[in-house]
Amino acid sequence: MQVYVYRNEEQVAQAAAMIFASQISAKPNLVLGLATGTTPIPTYQRLIAMNREGLIDFSQVRSYNLDEYVGLEPNHPASYRYFMNAQLFDHVNIDKANTHVPSGLGDVEKNAEAYDAAIEEAGGIDLQLLGIGHNGHIGFNEPNPRAFIYKTNVVTLTPSTIQANARLFEKEEDVPRQAISLGIGGIMNARRIILLATGRGKAQAVRDAVQGDITPLLPASILKAHRNVQFLLDAEAASLL
């Protein structure tokens, strides 16, 4: 694991976008693993700007998102499909047919199985972008006292995650209680992982992930066992290291 600390979130975004640019230029049909949340938004804005400037070409890029709420239609403003379209896909030259977000509708168990198979068929994820939850979750893989869950699965969100995500809904009761999430195995199978964390609120989870033991109680701690992972942090997120 390599840890890089930047002055602020703009510099984190610039560093992350440069990694995307170099990987896509080396392999134009790169398979990206993408994340939602507040943290990656500045990175997506940099990617949009670089695409406009002709510095990144998404025309052959394929993408698989980490997660989606169970029960939300893709056009629901709080769905992760909607987020990805609004924050990135609508503004770059990616072919939407090459973008994938797990479906939280219908038979979600079956969707979960099909998602892992589709990623495998695409040749696996080349570059996985991650955020980190206040409780150390990655994707929607919440702390679990027993084990890491390896396959894409249907997860029950913890009260702290529901609370953290309530800002995107009218009321906290509207936040779905379940989500479908790429599993820890799917994340760890990525050839390269970059985790972004910004702000003081993430400092404890970052500290535990970087300096604590590997434990399913802090899902991000497993990243220490990956051979090509970089944490890109701003000074506040790194303040307890």
Our measurement of the distance from residue 77's CA atom to the centroid of its chain's CA atoms, rounded to an integer in Å, reads 18
- What's the rounded Cα separation, in Å, for the pair 7 and 4? 10
The single residue among 8, 22, 38, 163 that binds ligand PGA, judged by CB under 6 A, is 38
Count the neighbouring beta carbons within 10 Å of the beta carbon of residue 114: 14
142 is catalytic: yes
C-beta of 39: minimal distance to ligand PGA in Å? Answer: 3
Catalytic residue of the set 68, 142, 208, 234: 142
Ramachandran bin of 167, using left for φ above 0, alpha for ψ from -120 to 50, beta for the remaining angles: alpha
Q: Assess 42 for contact with ligand PGA (CB under 6 A).
A: no
73 is catalytic: no
Q: Cα–Cα distances in Å, from 32 out to 15, 35, 44, 199?
A: 16, 10, 13, 25
67 is catalytic: yes
135 is catalytic: yes
Per CB under 6 A, the segment of 37-45, 57-65, 106-114, 115-123 that binds ligand PGA is 37-45
For the record, the structure tokens of 87 come out as 């924050």
Catalytic residue of the set 67, 116, 126, 234: 67
Which amino acid, one-letter code, is at 171? K
The single residue among 37, 102, 136, 183 that binds ligand PGA, judged by CB under 6 A, is 37
Q: Which of residues 121-150 bind ligand PGA (CB under 6 A)?
A: 131-133
Q: Assess 186 for contact with ligand PGA (CB under 6 A).
A: no
Q: Assess 237 for contact with ligand PGA (CB under 6 A).
A: no
- Residues annotated as catalytic (active site), given as ranges: 67, 135, 137, 142
Question: Which residues sit at the interface with ligand PGA, rule CB under 6 A?
Answer: 37-39, 131-133
